[in-house]
Structure 1
Amino acid sequence: MINIKKYSFRKYSKVFPKIFTLEKQKLRKIFPKENIEHIGSSSVKGLGGKGIVDIAIAVPKYQIKKSINKLQEIGYNYRTSGGNKERKFLQKIIKYNGIERRIHVQLISKNSNAWNSVIAVRNYLRKNKKITQEYAKLKKEAVKYAKGESTKYREFKESFLEKLEKVALKKYRKIN
């Protein structure tokens, strides 16, 4: 069984990009032309988080249901909670160097606000070490505050993330 505590803080690990690359190779066989990106805390050097490798795949909106089925065929479990019309969540557990790791995949409508947001936030954090450190500190505090409760964990970070998203999207739109 996996030893990941759902709401615990883990330091950034150099294995995260390696796990992403390996999983991307598998996903590329199913999604040969779609944009597949490493997102979330594990995609930002030095950030840390829950130790989960998050992957976003941009698919046409009309292909989301079919894409869920394709991912289920290779071992991903569809999570009905947390998604919306633009974004669907799946997860699976893999073994990497003998250690179980959790991977989350987000199927996101191509060219949607949700897609722009996850890419903008990732890029902004990668370029702004001070904000990354501030976010890491907040995440550690959120873990202590939440005591394993997902709602409390998300609520604790919500205000910071809303501000971060606004700033990141503004920069992203200037560049793109």
Structure 2
Amino acid sequence: MKYYCFVFRRISMDVKMKGIVRVVPYDPEWKTEFLKIKAMIVDCTGDFITGVEHVGSTAVEGLASKPIIDIDVVIDSYDIFPAVKDRLSEIGFEHKGNLGIEGRESFKRTFIDDFMPYHLYVCPKDGKGYLEHIAFRDYLRNHPEAVKAYGELKTKLAEQFRTDIIGYMDGKHEFLQNILKNVNKE
């Protein structure tokens, strides 16, 4: 299967990110935490969705990561998106748009819950954002040498760009592009 080239864009040059860029060693609790959040999402959205996927670095065993879980709520097509958006809104999620990444709708929680930090996206099953998230996650899960190299890079960048999330993201760009070139070869 051929995947699109990953699109890593700055959300906005004028975004003011608060806090420190923090990368920590892998924590097996991330998987448990994802399953709890997934249960809440499935309970809310029911039959409107086709799946809920744990994506991003916290989904890869052994990978150092920012301790924020990335979650893709998968839908058949954008036709069902309004219903899913309404259901998520009912429990306190605010739709923030695609944030510059086609095929990925971002949601922000407007309530306090007992979960660790997480990012929630709704993606059509054939959407570029979803396919890229899955391709990248699965490549890392099957290539321990890439996990080690990526974890080391992220840790180094977090130290170098401690208060600069844009610098941190830019520093990962070339590595991520190379991983996706490898995905496209397989």
Under TM normalisation by the shorter chain, which class is it? 0.7 to 0.9
Is the Cα contact below 8 Å between 1:41 and 1:47 reproduced in 2? Answer: yes
Higher helix share: 1
Distance 1:75 1:169 in 2: 38
1:43 aligns to what? 59
2:156 aligns to what? 141
1:120 is paired with a residue whose SS is helix
How far 1:68 sits from its partner (Å)? 3.0
State how many pairs are aligned. 164
How far does the alpha carbon of each residue in 1:109-152 deviate from its partner, in whole angstroms, 9 at most, with x for none? Answer: 22122221111111111111110010001111221222222211
Q: Normalising by structure 2, what TM-score?
A: 0.78
- Specify which of 83, 100, 118 is matched with residue 133 of structure 2: 118
- More moved, 113-122 vs 80-89: 80-89
Matching of residue 129 in structure 1 with residue 150 in structure 2: no
Distance 2:90 2:158 in 1: 34
Distance 1:58 1:170 in 2: 25
Matching of residue 26 in structure 1 with residue 40 in structure 2: yes
Distance 1:150 1:64 in 2: 30
Matching of residue 15 in structure 1 with residue 62 in structure 2: no
Matching of residue 64 in structure 1 with residue 81 in structure 2: yes
Q: Which amino acid in the other structure matches residue 86 of structure 1?
A: G
1:56 is paired with a residue whose SS is strand
- More moved, 131-140 vs 26-35: 26-35
- Specify which of 130, 152, 167 is matched with residue 182 of structure 2: 167
Is the Cα contact below 8 Å between 1:89 and 1:106 reproduced in 2? Answer: yes
Distance 1:68 1:142 in 2: 35
2:106 aligns to what? 89
Distance 2:157 2:83 in 1: 36
Is the Cα contact below 8 Å between 1:40 and 1:53 reproduced in 2? Answer: yes
Distance 1:169 1:88, change over 3 A: farther
Q: Which amino acid in the other structure matches residue 64 of structure 1?
A: F
How far 1:65 sits from its partner (Å)? 4.2
Q: Which amino acid in the other structure matches residue 131 of structure 1?
A: A
**Structure 1: gaps spanning 5 or more residues:** 172-176
Q: Which amino acid in the other structure matches residue 177 of structure 2?
A: E
Distance 1:83 1:19, change over 3 A: farther
Higher strand share: 1
**Structure 2: gaps spanning 5 or more residues:** 1-17
Q: Percent identity?
A: 23
Is the Cα contact below 8 Å between 1:91 and 1:102 reproduced in 2? Answer: no
2:26 is paired with a residue whose SS is coil
Q: Normalising by structure 1, what TM-score?
A: 0.82
Matching of residue 55 in structure 1 with residue 71 in structure 2: yes
How far 1:88 sits from its partner (Å)? 1.5
- Specify which of 156, 173, 176 is matched with residue 171 of structure 2: 156
